[in-house]
Chains A and B, each alone.
Chain A
Amino acid sequence: MSVTTAEKPAVRTTKVLPSPVTGQEIVLVGVIAILWVALWVSTPAFMTAGSIQPLLVATAPVALVGVGMTIVIITGGIDVSVGAAIMVCSVLTAKLLVDAEVNLGVAVIVSVAAGGLLGLVNGVLIAYGRVHAIIITFGTANLFLFLGLQIFGSGTVNGIPGTLAFFGRGQDGRTFGVPHAFLITLLITAAAWWYLRHTAGGRHFFAIGGDAQAARLAGVRVQRRVLLAYVLTGLLVGLASCFVIAQGTSTLDQSVGSGKELAVIAAVVIGGTSIMGGRGSVLGTLLGALLVQSVASGVTQLGWSSQLSDLFVGIFIIVAVGADLLRARARRSR
């Protein structure tokens, strides 16, 4: 504008951005709180470190991969290969720990790099092959499974040393009683939250999911951003794989990672991220993962069949997305 106003605007907005916490997140916090209190009342053993710590440990890998998945889904994509990618990274890392006896740092770097590479494969195919993400990642999921099984050789990886105990369930995996895996997940979620909310690059993910063509016209480098989303997911898969190894026994079997892609997507969706793209929050994903894990933990503590928790996952998805659909409908009819 060639116009400058002499005075500063009289009305100054104190609120710079929309509320940092979405309604969905507040509801999730409420639901988790109620659930915890209910479980506490029914089985007092629930509110003990021995019960809460494993819950947080188990939440970490899903929530961590969920951070990447949230970004991918915000751009309007999806990645159903993360389960298979977790398998590749964890078996590779486990083998290195057993055969090469590498230290913690090397193990993490290798795992994260391997994950990043797998993410790069997805990203290149999706961003430059211009093929629907779900199809490509269905395909690469098979390829990753092949790769993982090849590295496995036969059966299981046995005698994994405790090198990764820093991320584990045991005493070495905690500081002031908080599991490191959860702490790291919390930190990364916070960093991702800040990145998505406060940097131009982060905001561009939302623009791409809203309207990729318009975003391109506005000067957003769409293909690069999309590629980055999948690579980020891959890197997080690599780190999450280290958590998975550390939390298991000294044996890793071939079912590792199986079904995790759907668990992650469920956490993301329950967290209020729109599968249509353009809207979402990593904070919600963390809460979604925590809710799912709390239910799983609660179901076992109540002495019910552990498989029953999946029924609740299904119901949560319907309720979370259904509420969102009703909101959208109300907004349209206004």
Chain B
Amino acid sequence: MADKNETPRLRLTAVSKRFGAVRAIQHGDFTVRAGKVHALVGENGAGKSTMIKIISGAEQADTGDVEWDGAPVRISSTTDAIALGIATVYQEPQLFAELTVAENIFLGKELKKGGRVDWNAQNERVVELLEVLGLPAKYATATVGDLSIAEQQQVSIAKALSGDAKVLILDEPSAILTDAEIEVLFDVVRRLTASGVAVIYISHRLDELFRIADEVTVMRDGRTIGTYPIGDLSVRQIAHLMVGEELSDTRPHREVPEGPAVLELRGLTRAGKFRDVDVSVKKGEIVALYGLVGSGVSEIAACVYGIDRATGGELKLNGATETLKSPQDAQKKGVALLPANRKVEGMFGFQSIAFNISAGHLKLLSRFGMFVDRARETKVATSLIKRLAVKTPSERQPVNAMSGGNAQKVVLARQLVERPKVLILAEPTQGVDVGAKEEIHRLITELAEEGTAVLVVTSDLPEALRIADRIQVVRGGTTTEEFGPDAKQVDLLAAAAGGSE
């Protein structure tokens, strides 16, 4: 373990941050040492990303102290952070596909020789960087667009290091990588720490922390719960620290009527994304597919809805094997889906609520299948607005002016116009306020009670526990364990994050 008396590279003491009424961080202590990998873990909303934003200068703490090499500093912008030597690599590489790796790394700070870019000098520097990272030198002159996502991420790391980084923040780097690619990443991280760089490593995959991290800080409800040498903990113990004391479940146990499965996935596979997925949902049942970001869980949803084609396995609806060719096809067969990314996949921004609700049901809401029956549209829209308690003066309001929760209800309302037999809900309450979350959960239960087979695809653990009758954990692109509604959070988290030992 590191010498505790050594001056830490970066130390945050008692920081707090408030966004309006929300206290994102109530109390945060965080210490980073040169040459060490410090993992930062916590559930969604625990305050991890705010902490990272404060360190990288994207946000400023309301209170608290920051010390760099023992001296107090103020990080009031990303430029300040970069000047200190703090570099951040985000999950999605932000690179220019048409430029070479070397150009990407030196964009905006090109090395010049007599008015022209000194390609040789740049390439030499990049080859050195790649050398340190243990990456092939040929990357330097490759066009970024020709590289895989994993390679692009490595380039992002190289880019972050090009500015003499002393602290490197890796924000969920492993989420988009395959196992083999993660090995390369770890190799890179080890080489970096060996050369004295401090790495802040954020990940949901708890098992991998044991292979790469030296220390781990756990956050929960806007507080840093504590910092521990990784060797002192097990996956289960970390999971326990993350979820805290289990509240006894006050939810009344729902009785699911016996019956055959309405939706059944048998060994469903999509090459490169997920494999051998087994799930079944009965009429009136709520099943959660719980998995971490990058576990393949969202790809499963897209496939069951006909966005992507399965490459293997079976999908059965009411016992009959089906191939869903497109979302239209899925809808025709009674499958509806609430997409995970509301703004991109769900909302028609500047169009009205009624427009958003009736999209996808225009045949039903038209006379002679041609002219939109506006009276009927209004009736359907207003009744759904009422049922979902959407807060709006009229169904003609545009949805882009609405809060996240209200907009989510509108997109959800669209799935309910023609009562689906199977309703898939991908991250149904992401970016939604507490009140709306409550209402959406209540609605999901109602729908199930009315006989809909509901599959909730979520990375939100309390949500899965709160509404599901059964929980299927997805890990590494496949379904692993099944839990009942009485399962403990810590068990689920451990199963999903890879510590079932």
Contact = CB atoms under 8 A, between A and B. Distances in A.
A91 B353 CA distance: 55
A9 B98 contact: no
Nearest to A199: B116
A210 B115 CA distance: 23
A215 interface: yes
Contacts of B237: none
Contacts of B116: 198-199
B143 A203 contact: no
Contacts of A5: 128, 131-132
B165 interface: yes
Interface in A191-220: 198-200, 203-204, 206-207, 209-211, 214-215, 218-220
Nearest to B79: A219
Contacts of A220: 107-108
B138 A13 contact: yes
B377 interface: no
A220 to B, nearest CB: 5
Given A16-B119, A331-B146, A219 B108 contact: yes
Interface residues of A, number: 32
Interface string B126-147: 0111011000111011010110
Interface in A212-255: 214-215, 218-220
B195 A3 contact: yes
Given A199-B115, A207-B99, A13 B127 contact: yes
Given A1-B129, A18-B141, A206 B99 contact: yes
Contact of B123 (A13, A210, A219): A13
B108 A13 contact: no
Contacts of A326: none
Contacts of B195: 1-3
Contact of B100 (A2, A12, A17, A211): A17
Contact of B128 (A2, A9, A200): A9
B112 A200 contact: yes
B117 A214 contact: no
Given A2-B197, A11-B136, A207-B107, 6 more contacts: A11-B127, A16-B120, A18-B143, A198-B119, A204-B107, A214-B94
21 contacts: A1-B132, A1-B164, A1-B195, A2-B166, A3-B196, A5-B128, A9-B137, A11-B127, A12-B127, A12-B137, A13-B138, A13-B140, A198-B117, A204-B108, A210-B99, A214-B94, A215-B96, A219-B107, A219-B108, A278-B96, A278-B97
Interface of A: 1-5, 8-9, 11-13, 15-18, 198-200, 203-204, 206-207, 209-211, 214-215, 218-220, 278-279, 331
Q: Which 8 A-B pairs have the closest CB atoms?
A: A219-B108, A218-B108, A200-B110, A210-B96, A11-B137, A3-B195, A16-B119, A198-B116
Interface of B: 94, 96-100, 103, 107-110, 112, 115-117, 119-120, 123-124, 127-129, 131-132, 136-138, 140-141, 143, 145-146, 161-162, 164-166, 195-197
